[in-house]
Amino acid sequence: MKRRQIGLAVLSAATAMALGACSAGSLGSSDDSSSGGGGKVTLSFLTDNQPETVKIAEGLAKDFNAKNPDITITVETRPQGTEGDNVVKTRLSTGDMTDVFMYNSGSLMQALAPQKNLTPVDEFAGQLDDNFKKSVGSDGKIYGVPFGNYMAGAILYNKDVYDKNGLKVPTSWAEFEANNAKLKAAGVDPVIQTYGETWTSQLFILGDYFNVEATTPGWADQYTKNQAKYATTPAARAGFDHLQEVHDKGYVNKDFASAKLTDGLNKLAKGEGAQYPILSAMLSQLIADNPGTENKIGLFAIPGADAAKNGLTVWAPNGLYIPTSTTGAKLDAAKKFLGFVASPEGCESLGKASQPTGPYAVTGCKLPDSVPQAVKDMQTYIDKPGASGLALEFLSPVKGPALEQICVEVGSGIRKADAAAKLYDEDVKKQAQQLGLEGW
């Protein structure tokens, strides 16, 4: 009896000591960063792990630190694609986000519930381009500054291969198909597809949006209100049809199912494939991996039914955001950093870290004269009135999460285009309901 009591006393004393030690320890280790003397601040900065993005992020961090020696920025990385979305959402919802983070603008940014989770940065509105403000705005406030350049969802093509086969840049789908037939006969893979990275499968649909808007103006609004559907609008469904067509006619590379983005870019640079529907921002990686290809790769808009109405679908740059969990001295420092990024100095730092692949969204920033050919091609569309427009994800918050998988199915011949369009209409319903949109 007595022995048990002694044992228990010892046990409870030990527990109390252990608990005490634990709390003292954790208190001791958490008060160094913000309250340290001298006003030195360290900001953490989350970005995706694409090599060029990391280079830009680290370049910005270094150049900003050179100007503001008291503020150090450490870059962290996360995966790309849906896995990365998950990381960002989870960290935001648990209040565990880095002090500054990079994320998509447009519909994906709207899904972060910016009013609740992000700090508005209206003070930089004067420095930003209107299209970009639209894509990081919510309820009349803006929440981010651009990280990177405008990009296009378009077809990159190998100019040498085009010249060798005597081809002209197509402006309608029929011309594109005629080119493909000639390329196939010449033994070159006409269209490169890389489903090893599923997001690359969506370009024929997402990059076709200018053509949809050109034939049915105001489609995005009707789509948001649940009045227009992919399956029932022929112009919108065309993207799925095109994807099926290039597969059915055997125009894609043999290893399309397992090839990755890098493989696709290298194939295009080496001329093993002639055309690659992809985001123009991938150009910087292509050039970095294949030096000397700056002027060998051109760009054209994804062709639609009508050559007269063909134009370029443009993506706003990703944004840099400050989560509401950043406060005090860190918030001031974070705003200073965003101000730097949204200034001509920021653009300069960006251009130094990575070849600019599209126009800047910051006022007063100019592209250097020595940009690659594809960027010049892109600029031609943008300078011509009415030849470029924003992608659907910047005009409507409705974007289904399964589009990548559905596109892979269509592009691999598993599902037909009409069934895929219907399936995607079902998929976006969930997103619309989650966002609480009216009419769904």
Partner 1 sequence: MSATGPAPAGRKRSPYPIWFYLPAAIVYAVLFLVPTVTSFYFSLTRWSIFDSQFIGFDNYVTFFQEPALVSGLWHTVVYAVVTSGLKVVLGLGLAVLLTSQIIGRGYLRSVVFFPVLVSTIGVGLTFTILMDPEDGLINESLALLGIQGPGWLTDPSYALLSVALVDVWKGVGLATLIYIAGIVSIPQEYFEAARVDGASAWQNFRSIVLPLARPATFTVILLSLIGGLRSFDLIWAMTRGGPGFTSDVIASVIYKQYQAGFYGLSTAGNVVLFLLVTAIIFPLSRFLNSREVDL
For partner 1, the binding residues (CB under 8 A) are 4-5, 8-9, 12, 82-83, 85-86, 89, 92-93, 111-113, 116-117, 195, 198, 254-255, 257-258, 401-402, 405-406, 408-409, 412, 414-415, 423, 426, 430-431, 433-434, 436
* Count of Cβ atoms closer than 10 Å to residue 194 Cβ: 26
User: Which residue, 329 or 402, is less far from partner 1 as judged by CB?
Assistant: 402
Alpha carbon distance 104, 78 (integer Å): 13
User: Which residue, 52 or 263, is less far from partner 1 as judged by CB?
Assistant: 263
Alpha carbon distance 373, 141 (integer Å): 36
Alpha carbon distance 255, 248 (integer Å): 15
Strand blocks (E) in 35-150? 41-48, 71-78, 100-103, 137-138, 141-142, 144-147
User: Which residue, 150 or 276, is less far from partner 1 as judged by CB?
Assistant: 276
Question: What is the nearest approach in angstroms of partner 1 to the Cβ of residue 417?
Answer: 13
User: Which residue, 111 or 392, is less far from partner 1 as judged by CB?
Assistant: 111
Residues 315 and 391 sit within 8 Å (Cβ to Cβ) = yes
User: Which residue, 86 or 295, is less far from partner 1 as judged by CB?
Assistant: 86
User: Which residue, 362 or 432, is less far from partner 1 as judged by CB?
Assistant: 432
User: Which residue, 8 or 174, is less far from partner 1 as judged by CB?
Assistant: 8
User: Which residue, 393 or 409, is less far from partner 1 as judged by CB?
Assistant: 409
Question: What is the nearest approach in angstroms of partner 1 to the Cβ of residue 5?
Answer: 5
Strand blocks (E) in 39-95? 41-48, 71-78
Alpha carbon distance 156, 381 (integer Å): 14
- DSSP letters, 335-368, are HHHHHHHTSHHHHHHHHHHS---S--SBTT----
Question: What is the nearest approach in angstroms of partner 1 to the Cβ of residue 400?
Answer: 8
Residue located via tokens 């706003």: 316
User: Which residue, 7 or 36, is less far from partner 1 as judged by CB?
Assistant: 7
* 65 CB-near residues (< 8 Å, 6+ apart): 71, 72, 73
User: Which residue, 195 or 204, is less far from partner 1 as judged by CB?
Assistant: 195
Alpha carbon distance 220, 209 (integer Å): 9
Question: What is the nearest approach in angstroms of partner 1 to the Cβ of residue 405?
Answer: 5
Question: What is the nearest approach in angstroms of partner 1 to the Cβ of residue 107?
Answer: 11
User: Which residue, 25 or 436, is less far from partner 1 as judged by CB?
Assistant: 436
Alpha carbon distance 345, 339 (integer Å): 10
Q: Give me 37's structure tokens.
A: 């003397």
Q: Which helix (H) or strand (E) holds 389?
A: strand 388-390
Residue 342 C-alpha from the chain's centroid:
18
Q: Give me 359's structure tokens.
A: 């126009």
Residues 269 and 207 sit within 8 Å (Cβ to Cβ) = no
Question: What is the nearest approach in angstroms of partner 1 to the Cβ of residue 120?
Answer: 17
- DSSP letters, 125-177, are GGGB-HHHHHHTEETTEE-EEEES--EEEEEEEEHHHHHHTT----SBHHHHH
Strand pairing category for 41-48 and 100-103: parallel
Q: Angle CA(300)–CA(146)–CA(350) in degrees, nearest 5? A: 80
Question: What is the nearest approach in angstroms of partner 1 to the Cβ of residue 112?
Answer: 7
Question: What is the nearest approach in angstroms of partner 1 to the Cβ of residue 259?
Answer: 8
Question: What is the nearest approach in angstroms of partner 1 to the Cβ of residue 173?
Answer: 24
Separation in Å, CA 365 to CA 356, 370, 374:
11, 15, 19
